[in-house]
Structure 1
Amino acid sequence: MMWTVAPERFDSPGATLLRRDYYTEVASRYWDRPATAEEIEDGLTDDGAELLTPPTGQFLVGRHGKSAAGCAGLLVVDADAGVVELTRVFVRREFRGTGGGGALLTAAEERARALGMAQIRLDTRSDLVEARGLYAKHGYREVPAFHRRQYAEHWFAKEL
């Protein structure tokens, strides 16, 4: 089976479930225990996902066959400087190792170029070792911190 990645509204049924799964995993890993329903709801409430729509961004859903299996978001940080931020990159556990992470990154980079962006950047945490490896494998380089948000411990960028 192959991956396809396409823009989709952040609040579509498939995207909503992916966003919930994303928060469940990152919160559980951060706290080193299963995340509570309240923690997941807190993560989803006012998380800025509405900005992942044109012209301020884009939400992408990756499908493996017909299954919504992964997602990624783009947020335009500085349109004049051509900087976009990659966020919410996630592949459901049962689809890992099938090329979904690379497919999502490729699609996000293509969409960023189509928006006229020259650089894509992101932040991640130390415990998300697989994510850091994925970014490095796809040409992202670790850069100095470009913000001081909670949960950000590593910053990456890639020229488009």
Structure 2
Amino acid sequence: MSELKIVVARYTDPDAQLLIRATLRDLGERYNSSGDETPVDPTEFDPPHGAFLVGYFGADPVSCAGWRSHGDNGLVAELKRMYTAPQARRKGLARRMLAAVEDSAREHGRRRLILETGSKQPESIAMYQACGYAAIDNFGFYKEYPGVRSFGRDLH
């Protein structure tokens, strides 16, 4: 396998959409649902208010994640659609993608990154905690749902 290359893409890019659909399928299987009902406007991921990243091994899109502005002060970003394809897991790609999202958010003036995940994603929770994310009050679309877990980390 070649080296992972991470590029900025539009949320509507075909490779991004391929990975987003896979993300939603994965979440749907875990939670016996449609995946994620959180309202998402693709333009929320357009700079300078957000960004969407796709990771490639050669020509194959294998990982994605994005951030969008959260709140009114322009200092907080929300992580969305973090995903690594099954064939590319356990290679450190999620950590590399998370670091790239953090760098992008930081470059656009964000000082904090927050995210929602859930109890049926224990590998995600473990990775976020290992990367310095701490539990925060639940927020967003799923804040009242059982099993929701919210995390945040300051971007220094």
Match for residue 155 of structure 1 among 142, 150, 156? 150
* Whole-angstrom CA distance in 1 between matches of 2:74 and 2:8: 23
**TM-score, with length taken from structure 1:** 0.85
Residues 138 and 65 of structure 1, relative CA distance in 2, 3 Å threshold: farther
**TM-score, with length taken from structure 2:** 0.87
Contact 1:3 1:99 in 2 (8 A): no
Match for residue 97 of structure 2 among 88, 91, 104? 104
Aligned pairs for 1:1-160 (under 5 A) are 1-31=2-32, 39=34, 47-78=40-71, 80-147=73-140, 149=142, 153-160=148-155
* Whole-angstrom CA distance in 2 between matches of 1:8 and 1:17: 12
Contact 1:72 1:90 in 2 (8 A): yes
* Whole-angstrom CA distance in 2 between matches of 1:55 and 1:114: 9
Instruction: Give unpaired runs (5+ residues) of structure 2.
Output: none
Aligned length: 152
Contact 1:79 1:117 in 2 (8 A): no
After TM superposition, give the deviation of residue 116 of structure 1 in Å: 0.4
Residues 21 and 114 of structure 1, relative CA distance in 2, 3 Å threshold: same
Give the fraction of aligned pairs with identical amino acids, expressed as a percent: 28
* Whole-angstrom CA distance in 2 between matches of 1:79 and 1:117: 12
Contact 1:72 1:88 in 2 (8 A): yes
Contact 2:79 2:113 in 1 (8 A): yes
2:12 maps to amino acid: D
After TM superposition, give the deviation of residue 78 of structure 1 in Å: 3.0
Contact 1:4 1:103 in 2 (8 A): no
Cα RMSD after superposing both structures: 2.2
Instruction: Give unpaired runs (5+ residues) of structure 1.
Output: none
After TM superposition, give the deviation of residue 79 of structure 1 in Å: 5.5
1:28 maps to amino acid: E
Partner secondary structure for residue 138 of structure 2: coil
Normalized per residue, which structure has more helix? 1
